Structure 1
Amino acid sequence: MKHLMQKALQFSPNRRAAIALSMAALMAGCGTAATGPSAEGGLKLGSLLPSTGDLAPVGQPMIATVPLLVETVNQCGGVNGKPIDLVPADDETDPVKGNAAMTKLAEVDKVAGVVGSFASSVSQSAVDVAARNKVMLVSPGSTSPVFTERAKKGDFKGFWARTAPPDTYQARALAQLAKDKGLKRVSTVVINNDYGVSFEKEFVTAFKALGGTVANEKNPTRYDPKATTLNTEAEAAFKGKPDGVAAVLYAETGSLLLKAAYEAGLTSGVQLLLTDGVKSDDFAQQVGKTRDGKFIVEGAIGTVPGADGKALAALDKLWKSKKNSPPPAYVPQAWDAAALLALSAQAAKANTGEAIAANIREVSAGPGEEVTDVCKGLELLKAGKKINYQGASGNVDIDANGDVVGVYDVWQVQADGKTKTIGKVLPSK
């Protein structure tokens, strides 16, 4: 282990963080209460989240959240009288690797439910594996509208849900934010995957409905997720100096694009509109600084699914006691995803994916007693009573398509490169 730590110091800060997290997960798998083997027949859950790859900076806090929920549940008696066994997996922000990891979770580890994934492209790849193996997949952050469309067709057979609202809402929220800031003519640039393209299309429709103009509507700028140079895309997105650029990015590739735009002299006077994919205190550092020492993305504003649930205060207190900081974006959604899996299994009095899928809507949106504390919910369910879980992210009323409706925080990159929540915005009608 010492050799691995010494080797890790040779990498970049982001890479070191990812390696450290991976080693922590490895050590955590050696018999802790949260992740160690459970008694025979206990509830077995997995997590499928990015500790490495393009979304690692956003994914790592979510990864830390799931064992925190499992530890909390196990300390109050577990599910159906036995502790939860958690099997973590890194999807590497890659659909192919995510599919392989999901296959292992479902077919080798035999989990009943999985928290994941974050990237919509990874969840798109993983959900078919989940449905085929009757494993309940609950994403804390895959927001593409494609999942709603597929759910309506019956593709998932009920084995899909998410605790973050679809981008049909966030795109409208970003459009409303652009209007509120007085922007009349904007361009778009998006990562060319389910998340980026779906967001772009909804944003264009919403911004035009609000009276705005999208300068590159007829020739949208979309970049390859595996690109290593993005000068051409940067020039296309900022061409003609629009009032703003709505950039739907992932951190590693997005930082390359914005740095290229700055170096080409294209960013001055253009308001940058960002989204949840880059909502991280590391992102400004990744993009870099101007010649006079300021962060290139200072003053950029963005949206992210917010959290206003009745359980948020308790989670905030718990997270601060463990991490000595407020919970980052998507921690509430990850907590709620894991909580719903545990509560649904208890409601069914069975530790299978089929049992969880059959009960998750009843537990999240049914007529039972409202509870914010997962242990209180488990206690009531053990007594044969019905509950309506009120989460940290919101009321998490999961509908027939696996969707929830949420609120959106507005965040801004400050002079020190950190992000700060500066308000809220509702999606345009």
Structure 2
Amino acid sequence: MKQSSQRSVILLMTGGLLIASPNVALNNINIPATSPINTGTIAAGNGLKLGTLVPTTGDLSSIGQNMPVAADLAVETINACGGVNGAPVTLINEDDQTDPAAGASAMTKLTEVDRVAGVVGSFASSVSSAAVEIAARNQVMLVSPGSTSPVFTERARNGEFNGFWARTAPPDTYQAKALAALAKKQGLNNVSTVVINNDYGVGFEQQFVTSFENLGGTIVNRDQPVRHEPKATTLDTEAAAAFGGGAEGVAAILYAETGSILLQSAFKQGLTENVTILLTDGVYSPEFVEQVGKTPEGKSIIAGALGTVPAASGVGLDAFTTLWQNSTGKQVTAYVPHTWDAAVLLMLAAEAAKANTGEGISSKIREVANAPGVEVSDPCEAMELVRQGQDINYQGASGDVDIDEYGDVVGNYDVWRVNEDGSLEVIDTVAPAE
């Protein structure tokens, strides 16, 4: 790993090193040459250490693979404009494998071995549930870019996290209401549900059922909810139960790998015709649609399926999109802006606290995210204002990221559709139903 001057980039990625080339211009910012590479240990010193805990393998890898790249880019950007508290930031990326046990092990490493002050993660709510206890115990700030289960709100209300938890994506209390509103907007009156049996799936299901019924809809399998195990390899019975009950639509709250198995089974059993499939953020990726497969005629098996995903509509989105495309050559994908914002907020909070500690970040993260203060979306401009002692109200790429006392933010949702060729298209927006 590079050990270098204050404005260098220090990054450790899962499975290897990501090292900026000497004198390379990143996003019109010149990063000076650095000292020789040391592939042994993480750079020593008192600079801020952060980590990521996201799924680059496993059931959510199709979405999670871009998350550490977004966090890396945030650190590169801040290091190029002076770092945090006068020193460069170190980032350590860990793959949670979309598995709570693996995530807990990686979180323990980040907190107790690497001694990070803050972590961006996780994505799967089940992994964050395991990780947040470790974070709170070690006084490390955990900011999730995508764990949306309502369970975290309740646990925060109960005082379990001691302020060491926040998220930049809104909880599924809002997304479930948005999906219910979408179902009614499509004219659906009778819907069944099928969900992955974890915090994300069950929490979403429960809120969706309440919201859809409040809108006058009927859940046909309300008394016999269909929930499949996260590591299931065959889902014929679950597919038949969810799709075979005569519902006009099926709200399927899934992850990509197991979700593709379920939808393939429903199609092979002849149960998907004339049924509107309603999906969510957990499967919003072209890779998922490809996994589900195509008909003999070459059309996507789930063509016409509709879904919701937290919208990225912040003041800083356009500038971030340009930065991302110039740096990676790729399009911005789901939860990438939320990951960027999570990393930026951790660094701004550390600077505001004048301390590279989890306690310091926890004490200042809502202060830099919320009003009052100067509204600012550029991270370097925000950092300079904080250095000058000014109050700021960071306006993110994902949204305003106004964090409440339970670590939650509020947002609206994009409506996406699967086209016949398997491509994904955002076609509308929907607000959570009251």
TM-score scaled by length of structure 2? 0.91
Shift of 1:367: 1.1
Unaligned runs of 5+ in 1: 1-22
What does 1:142-153 align with in structure 2 at a 5 Å threshold?
142-153=147-158
Identify which of 209, 224, 227 aligns with 1:222.
227
Q: Give per-residue Cα distances to partners, 1:91-146, cap 9 Å, x unaligned.
A: 00000110000000000000000000000000000000000000000000000000
Are positions 1:369 and 2:358 aligned together?
no
Are positions 1:175 and 2:213 aligned together?
no
Indicate the residue corresponding to 2:410 in structure 1. Answer: 405
1:225 alignment partner, SS class? coil
Q: Give per-residue Cα distances to partners, 1:364-417, cap 9 Å, x unaligned.
A: 013111110110011011111111101111110101000000110000111221
Runs of 4+ in 1 over 4 A off after TM superposition: 29-39
Shift of 1:284: 1.3
Indicate the residue corresponding to 1:114 in structure 2. Answer: 119
Shift of 1:182: 0.5
Indicate the residue corresponding to 1:103 in structure 2. Answer: 108
| 8 Å Cα contact 1:38-1:84 kept in structure 2 | no
| 8 Å Cα contact 1:49-1:59 kept in structure 2 | yes
Q: Give me the whole-angstrom Cα distance separating, in 2, the residues matched to 1:352 and 1:246.
A: 42
Q: Give me the whole-angstrom Cα distance separating, in 1, the residues matched to 2:211 and 2:284.
A: 22
Indicate the residue corresponding to 2:283 in structure 1. Answer: 278
Are positions 1:186 and 2:186 aligned together?
no
Identify which of 107, 124, 127 aligns with 2:129.
124
| 8 Å Cα contact 1:38-1:82 kept in structure 2 | no
| 8 Å Cα contact 1:364-1:396 kept in structure 2 | yes
What does 1:189-268 align with in structure 2 at a 5 Å threshold?
189-268=194-273
Indicate the residue corresponding to 2:329 in structure 1. Answer: 324
Identify which of 62, 75, 81 aligns with 1:76.
81
Are positions 1:393 and 2:394 aligned together?
no
Report the structure, 1 or 2, having the larger helix content: 1
Indicate the residue corresponding to 1:8 in structure 2. Answer: none
Q: Give me the whole-angstrom Cα distance separating, in 2, the residues matched to 1:26 and 1:283.
A: 24
Q: Give me the whole-angstrom Cα distance separating, in 1, the residues matched to 2:338 and 2:49.
A: 20
> Residues 338 and 24 (structure 1 numbering): CA distance in 2 closer, same or farther, change over 3 Å?
closer
Q: How many residues align?
A: 407
Shift of 1:326: 2.7
Letter in 1 for 2:64: G
Letter in 1 for 2:250: V
Shift of 1:169: 0.3
1:304 alignment partner, SS class? strand
Shift of 1:25: 4.0
| 8 Å Cα contact 2:14-2:95 kept in structure 1 | no
1:282 alignment partner, SS class? helix
Q: Give me the whole-angstrom Cα distance separating, in 2, the residues matched to 1:231 and 1:175.
A: 26
Letter in 1 for 2:87: K
Query: Alignment RMSD, CA only?
Result: 1.6
Indicate the residue corresponding to 1:7 in structure 2. Answer: none
Q: Give me the whole-angstrom Cα distance separating, in 1, the residues matched to 2:355 and 2:311.
A: 32
Indicate the residue corresponding to 2:298 in structure 1. Answer: 293
| 8 Å Cα contact 1:192-1:225 kept in structure 2 | yes
Shift of 1:293: 1.9
TM-score scaled by length of structure 1? 0.92
User: Percent sequence identity over matched residues?
Assistant: 61
Are positions 1:269 and 2:274 aligned together?
yes
Indicate the residue corresponding to 1:26 in structure 2. Answer: 15
Unaligned runs of 5+ in 2: 1-11, 22-30
Q: Give me the whole-angstrom Cα distance separating, in 1, the residues matched to 2:391 and 2:129.
A: 32
| 8 Å Cα contact 2:13-2:93 kept in structure 1 | no
Indicate the residue corresponding to 2:162 in structure 1. Answer: 157
2:56 alignment partner, SS class? coil
Indicate the residue corresponding to 2:361 in structure 1. Answer: 356
Q: Give me the whole-angstrom Cα distance separating, in 2, the residues matched to 1:394 and 1:350.
A: 26
Q: Give me the whole-angstrom Cα distance separating, in 2, the residues matched to 1:401 and 1:114.
A: 17
Q: Give me the whole-angstrom Cα distance separating, in 2, the residues matched to 1:155 and 1:232.
A: 38
Letter in 1 for 2:318: A
Indicate the residue corresponding to 2:349 in structure 1. Answer: 344
Shift of 1:277: 0.4
> Residues 24 and 418 (structure 1 numbering): CA distance in 2 closer, same or farther, change over 3 Å?
farther
Shift of 1:27: 3.4
Q: Give me the whole-angstrom Cα distance separating, in 2, the residues matched to 1:312 and 1:30.
A: 26
